[in-house]
């Protein structure tokens, strides 16, 4: 078979390669997974937990090496890359939460006694993106395995080495065949979705999600989708402008804007507009861009030339339509796009309505809360959002935003134990939390006559 070559997006150098999976071999891989899954499903939750804890130790022991490879393969700063790997190594609390979520539950109404079992579906196809190439597989693979499923992971063709490192770490302790990996692009992904799998868990673009949902629907396969976002940020009177501007810069430019919950649209009350822009430009100037291996770098490159060209085209079209460039906007080299601040962005511009996934902060003035809310909801997406201002007023605005996760004077991520959830066309089903873990299991109800 031919090789899938991985390149450093900052330099174009070859990082490594893996063998591309023959799509014709995927049905046999699924059959092997189904057979291996029988023994895996027969284990207790505790037994599965203990084996995965051992795999966590393997990840921890290799975190720095895997993190450096992740940095070179995907482009994010080394500190963040190592942190991503280490966050997946320390999984004891996560596994305990999964054990609790998946344990049998008894409901007795005095007449009937029902036991809710959460059993494996069988074989899970996990299809993951390149922007968090270690943690995204972890989010799908770990709850799938804990629920007793066998898993076939199809990672992005942009970051195969990092995903292979994740699978290798887990397979150091897992029974053979329970976790397998498919390498390739669309052909392999489509073959996996069309194969005899029971659940497809996918994170990626809305367009790809539509194709997966359509294909999976032919066999009524279960589907969990986390799709794109166009996250709004609303800045109200009473907001702490320095903090709001600092968050806007950090959340617009982190990972070169290649985050599903990046701040892509900022709506600021007219009276705060120019002061906020000044503060945002000042925060943007503090950021250092470069190769992720270099000391002090906070922003790396775009993943590839295709994504770079998409973002630059959006910027150029917005400027041609009247947006003001206050930072960046030009001087880009290779796959690097300088962190860019655009003012006076309108919804007639593509950059205000289409997902960008790049280091661009788009700022728009609004007359009042009602206009901010209308513009925040003027999108088919609904992943995350944030509202900045006096708490009671901000909460009122936040309750009107049609998104799954909304932060008040902070990011959208919730407290420990809350789900990561999108609304509208940002997908359905969700990850994390007890309810999120339970989506990787089939509920079965066994009922007897209650003891009297």
Same domain, 215 and 278: no
337 phi, psi to nearest 5 deg: -115, 120
Within a domain: 254: yes
Q: Does an H or E element contain 28, and which?
A: helix 26-42
Q: Residue 204 sits in which domain range?
A: 3-226+425-449
Same domain, 185 and 264: no
Same domain, 346 and 434: no
Within a domain: 271: yes
Residue 289: DSSP 8-state: B
Q: What's the domain count of the chain?
A: 2
Same domain, 168 and 268: no
Same domain, 196 and 246: no
Mean pLDDT of 419-448: 92
Between CA 239 and CA 279 the distance in angstroms is 13
What's residue 430's pLDDT?
84
Between CA 127 and CA 215 the distance in angstroms is 14
Within a domain: 420: no
Q: Does an H or E element contain 247, and which?
A: helix 241-253
CATH code of the domain containing 70: 3.40.605.10
Within a domain: 419: no
Within a domain: 316: yes
Burial 304-322, CB ≥16 within 10 A → b, else e: eeebbebbbebbeebbeee
Same domain, 88 and 237: no
Between CA 257 and CA 338 the distance in angstroms is 11
CA angle centred on 45, ends 41 and 49, rounded to 5°: 110
Same domain, 161 and 276: no
Decide: helix, strand or coil at residue 245. helix
Residue 123 has pLDDT above 80, yes or no: yes
CB 416 within 8 A of CB 252: no
Mean pLDDT of 253-267: 97
What's residue 452's pLDDT?
59
CATH code of the domain containing 292: 3.40.309.10
Predicted TM-score of the model (pTM): 0.96
Same domain, 272 and 146: no
Within a domain: 27: yes
Residues facing 430 on adjacent strands: 421
Residue 428 has pLDDT above 90, yes or no: no
Give per-residue pLDDT as tens, 312-342.
Answer: 999 999 999 999 999 998 889 999 999 999 9
Within a domain: 147: yes
Active site residues: 226, 260
Same domain, 35 and 134: yes
Residue 451 has pLDDT above 80, yes or no: no
Query: Both tokens of residue 348?
Result: 């007639």
CA angle centred on 31, ends 29 and 34, rounded to 5°: 110
Mean pLDDT of 39-54: 98
Within a domain: 418: no
Strands (E), 90-188: 105-108, 112-120, 123-127, 150-154, 179-181
| Residue 417 banded pLDDT, cuts 50, 70, 90 | confident
Same domain, 243 and 343: yes
Between CA 76 and CA 292 the distance in angstroms is 5
Give per-residue pLDDT as tens, 349-408.
Answer: 999 999 999 999 999 999 999 999 999 999 999 999 999 999 999 999 999 999 999 999
Same domain, 221 and 238: no
Same domain, 285 and 265: yes
Q: Distance between alpha carbon 215 and the CA centroid of its chain, in Å?
A: 22
């Amino acid at each position: 078979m031919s090789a899938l070559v991985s390149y450093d997006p900052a330099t174009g150098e070859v990082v490594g390669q893996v063998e591309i999976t023959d799509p014709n071999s995927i049905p046999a891989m699924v059959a092997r997974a189904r057979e291996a899954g029988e023994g895996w499903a027969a284990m207790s939750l505790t037994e599965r937990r203990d084996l995965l804890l051992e795999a966590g130790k393997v990840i921890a022991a290799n975190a720095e090496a895997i993190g450096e490879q992740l940095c070179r393969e995907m482009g994010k700063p080394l500190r963040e890359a190592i942190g991503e790997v280490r966050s997946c190594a320390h999984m004891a609390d996560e596994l305990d939460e999964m054990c609790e979520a998946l344990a049998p539950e008894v409901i007795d109404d005095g007449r009937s006694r029902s036991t809710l079992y959460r059993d494996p579906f069988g074989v899970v196809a996990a299809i993951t993106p390149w922007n968090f190439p270690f943690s995204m597989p972890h989010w799908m693979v770990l709850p799938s395995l804990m629920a007793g499923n066998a898993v076939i992971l199809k990672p992005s063709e942009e970051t195969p080495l990092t995903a292979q490192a994740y699978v290798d770490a887990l397979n150091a302790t897992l029974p053979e065949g329970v976790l397998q990996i498919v390498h390739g692009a669309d052909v392999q992904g489509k073959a996996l979705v069309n194969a005899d799998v029971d659940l497809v868990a996918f994170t990626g673009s809305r367009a790809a999600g539509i194709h997966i949902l359509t294909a999976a629907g032919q066999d009524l396969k279960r589907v969990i989708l986390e799709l794109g976002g166009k996250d709004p940020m609303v800045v109200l009177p009473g907001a702490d402008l320095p903090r709001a501007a600092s968050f806007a810069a950090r959340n617009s430019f982190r990972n070169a804007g290649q985050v599903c919950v990046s701040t892509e649209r900022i709506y600021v009350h007219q009276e705060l507009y120019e002061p906020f822009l000044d503060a945002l430009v000042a925060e943007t100037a503090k950021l250092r861009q470069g190769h992720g291996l270099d000391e002090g770098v906070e922003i790396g490159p775009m993943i590839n030339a295709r994504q770079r060209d998409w973002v630059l085209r959006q910027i150029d079209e917005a400027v041609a339509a009247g947006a003001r460039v206050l930072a960046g906007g030009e001087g880009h080299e290779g796959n690097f796009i300088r962190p860019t601040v655009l003012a006076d962005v309108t919804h007639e511009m593509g950059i205000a309505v289409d997902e960008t996934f790049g280091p661009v902060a788009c700022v728009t003035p609004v007359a009042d809360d009602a206009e901010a809310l209308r513009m925040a909801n003027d999108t088919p997406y609904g992943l995350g959002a944030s509202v900045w201002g006096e708490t009671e007023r901000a909460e009122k605005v936040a309750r009107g935003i049609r998104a799954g996760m909304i932060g008040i004077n902070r990011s959208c991520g919730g407290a420990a134990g809350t789900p990561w959830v999108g609304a509208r066309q940002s997908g359905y089903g969700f990850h994390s939390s007890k309810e999120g873990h339970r989506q990787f299991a089939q509920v079965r109800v066994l009922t007897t006559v209650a003891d009297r």
